[in-house]
Amino acid sequence: MSPHPSLTDVALRLVLTLAAGALIGFNRRQRGHAAGLRTTMLVSLAAAVAMVLANTLLATSGKTEHSFATTDVMRLPLGVLSGMGFIGAGSIMRRGDAISGVTTAATLWAVTMIGLCFGAGELGLGGATTALVWLVLCALKRYELMLESEQKASLVLRLATLEPDEASLVSLLRGEGIHAAYIKGAYDAAQGACEVTYELRWRALAGGGSPAVIARLLALPNVRGVSWNGAS
C-alpha cells in the first residue's frame, strides 16, 4: 500500500472495484438472488473507498512515515468488515428447516474483501480473488446442481377411511427410498375420514419437485387428496 496514492492510482482502484462488483453481481442478478448487480457494486465500492481513505490517512498518522503500519487508521477497514456482518446476517432467512441467503451473505463478504484489496492498491490480489469468486459462483453452481442432497417436505393425506393404514403407506414410501415420519393425525368420526401429516426425507437433485410416488398415493383407494409442502 503506497502512503501517497496519486489520483490515477485511486481512480484505477475504484474502477477495478466496480468492474469486479459488476461481474459478480451480474451472476447473482441472473439467478434472481437478493444481492444483485447494484448491491455487490455498492458494497465493494464502499469497502474500496474505506481502504483508500485509510491509505490517504497513513501519511499523516503516527510520529513518522515508518510508523503508519501500527497506527489506528487500519481499524477503518476492520470496521467495514464488522458492519458487513450485520448486512450479511440480514440476508439470511429461515423458513422452518429451510435456510436461504447463506451464499448471498458469503458473496457480500467476498466482494467486501475484493473492495478492500483494490482500495489498498493490491490489484493482483483483488483480481485473483474476483476470478476465484466468479468461478465458485458460476462454474461450481452447475456442478452443485448435479449432486444429490437430502430433500425435505411435509405430506398431508386426506383419507376417506382408516384404510389404507399407516403401515402400508409408510411401506410404500420406503419402497421408493423415502423416509416418512409421522407428525400428527386427526379423525373425523362424523364423516368417517382422517387427515394424516408426515415429514418426508429423501435424496434427490435439488429442485426436482415432488417424487413420482405422490401420484401413486393419489391412485390408492380411499385417498381423497394429497397436500404437498414443497421440498427444501
pLDDT of residue 175: 78
pLDDT of residue 63: 56
Q: Which domains does the chain have, with CATH numbers?
A: 7-145 (no CATH), 149-229 (3.30.70.260)
pLDDT of residue 48: 86
Strand order in the sheet with 223-229: 179-188, 193-205, 148-159, 223-229
pTM here is: 0.58
pLDDT of residue 15: 92
Q: Could you identify the residue written with the cell 430433500?
A: 151
> Which grid cell sits at 94?
429461515
Contact 220, 196 (CB under 8 A): no
Contact 169, 223 (CB under 8 A): no
pLDDT of residue 151: 76
Where helices occur in 120-165 by DSSP H, the ranges are 123-145
Block means of pLDDT (10 residues each) for the chain, 232 residues, are 77 90 79 72 84 74 56 65 71 63 80 87 89 83 70 79 66 80 75 78 69 74 73 48
